[in-house]
Amino acid sequence: MEEEKLKRSLSSRQMQMIALGGTIGVGLFMGSASTIKWTGPSVLLAYGLAGLILYMVMRALGEMLYVDPSTGSFAKFGTEYIHPVVGYLTAWSNVFQWLVVGISEVIAVGTYLSFWWPNMPQWIVGVVVVVTLGIANLTSVKAYGELEFWFSIIKVVTIIFMIILGFLVILLGVGNGGHPVGFSNLWKNGGFFTGGLKGFIFALAIVVASYQGIEVIGITAGEAENPQETITHAIRSIVGRILIFYIGAIFVIVTIYPWNKLGTIGSPFTETFAKFGITFAAEIINFVVLTAALSGCNSGIFSSSRMLYTLGIEHRLPKAFTKLSRHNVPYLPVIVMSVGILLGLILNFVLPVIFHTSNNIFVIVYSSSVLPGMVPWFVILVSELKFRKVNAAHMAEHPFKMPFYPISNYLAIASLLVILFFMFLNPETTVSLLVGVVFLVVMTIVYFVREHRIDKAAAKDKTAIVEDADEETETMED
C-alpha cells in the first residue's frame, strides 16, 4: 500500500508524549478557572467522567489499530466501516480543528513572549515559530517525535511538581505558616455541586473539549515502530496518566483555594506556585504555557498534514499530496498546513484594523473547532461496531478488545450527544457549535457535488466508449 512508504520511526515513549502533548495544553494551564466557575469543586467529577468517555474511545481505536495500524486511521475506518462521506468529513474535521488550534497557539506564543520582550512585534515571533516547527516536521518524523517528547516532558514535570507541592500545602501547611489547608474548600462556599446539574454538564462540555487531541495516536500509527506493541502500550498507559495529571492538578487548585475566588486571581497555576512562596511563579508558568503553545502548534502541523496525506491517498486531493521527501515525510501537506497557519496569523493582525469586531469573530471560530474535534470520536465508536463483524476472525485471539462491547460504545456515544445538546442550550457555546455544524454541512455538500461530477464524467466516458464501439460496428458492417 502507498501509505506504508511512511517511515516507522516513532517509539512508544514518543507516542505517549505526543498524545500527552496534544491533550495537556493551554486549556489546562490557563483555562481551568472558567470550568471551575461553572460547577465548583465537582469539576473533578467532570474530568473523571470525560476521562471515562475518553478511555472508551481510545480502547475502541486501539482494537482497530491492532489489526490495521495505518496512517490517518480513524478517517480510513470511517470510510471503510460507515460511508466514504464519513471518512471525508473526519479527515477535514481534523484538518480544520488543528489549523484553528495551530493559529491560536502561535498567537499565544507571541503573547507569552511579550511577557519578557514587550516591544517585540508578535508577527515576527509567529513567523519564526511556524517556520521552525515546519522545518522540524519536514526533517523527519523522528525529529517531530523528539521535539514533542521534550515539549511534553516540561509540561508533565511542572504538573507533577505542582501536585507534590500542593499536597505539602494541604497536609503540612508548607508555605502557609505551617497551618495545613485541609480539604474543607471542597464543600464550603456553596457546596460541592455549586452550579447544579445544569452547570455540571455545561462544564463537562468544556472539559471534554480539553481532552481533544489524544486521538493523534491514531494518526501516528502508520509511523510507529512495532505498531501493535507500541500502540497498545501507549493507549493502556496514556489515559491513566492524563487522568492523574488533570484530576491531580485541578484537585490541588480547588482544595487550596475557595473556588469562587478563582475569577479574581488570574491563572490558578500561577497563584498556586505563588502560594508556596516561589516568587518567580509567573515566569515559570509563562515558560511552561509557552511550551504548551509550541507543543500544540507542533502537534497541529503533524496531525493535519497526515490527514491531508490520507486524503491524497484516497484521491480526494491531488496526487502531489502523497509524495514523500527523502526523509519519508509528506512534504506538501506539511508546507500547506504551515502556510495555512501563517495566513491565519496574518489575518489575526490585519482584520482588527479593518473590522473592529474581528477579534470576537476569531474567538467564535476557535471555539467552533470543538464539534469538528468530536467527529473522530463518534467515528471511532461507530466504526468499531462494524469492524467487529467484518473482522470476526481476528477477534478470538485479539488481546486488546474493547471492554463491555457494544454497551460501552453506545454509552459513550449517548454521553457525547448529551454534551452537544447542552452546548446548544448554553448561550456561551451556541454560536460556536452552530459554526461547527455549518462547517460539516458545507463539507458534506462539497463531497456529494464532487462525487456527482465524478460519476457524471464517468458516465459520459462510458457513453463515449459505447458510441465509439457502435460506430466501429457500423463501419465493419458497411
Q: Cis peptide before 376, with omega less than 30 degrees from 0?
A: no
Separation between Cα atoms, residue 439 and residue 95, nearest integer Å: 12
Angle at 449 between CA 303 and CA 333, to 5 degrees: 20
Domain boundaries, the chain: 2-422
What's the confidence (pLDDT) of residue 467? Answer: 60
Calpha distance 415→204 (Å, rounded): 10
**What pLDDT does residue 414 have?**
94
What number of CA atoms fall less than 13 Å from residue 285's CA on the CB side? 19
What is the reported pLDDT for 456?
Answer: 75
Please count the CA atoms within 13 angstroms of the CA of 328 that sit on its side-chain side: 15
Q: Please write the tens of the pLDDT for every residue from 153-210.
A: 888 888 888 888 888 888 888 777 777 888 888 888 777 888 788 888 878 877 887 7
- Looking at 3.40.720.10, 3.40.50.300, 3.40.50.970, 1.20.1740.10, the CATH number of the domain 2-422 comes to 1.20.1740.10
- Whether 266 shows a pLDDT value over 60: the answer reads no
> Per-residue pLDDT for 283 more than 50?
yes
Q: Report the predicted TM-score, pTM, of the whole model to 2 decimal places.
A: 0.79
Lowest-confidence pick of 54-63, 73-82, 144-153: 144-153
Cell of 258: 475557595
Q: Which one, of 286, 287, 245, lies nearest residue 266 by Cα?
A: 286
**Residue 366: pLDDT band with limits 50, 70, 90:** low
Contact criterion met (CB below 8 Å) for 316 and 74: no
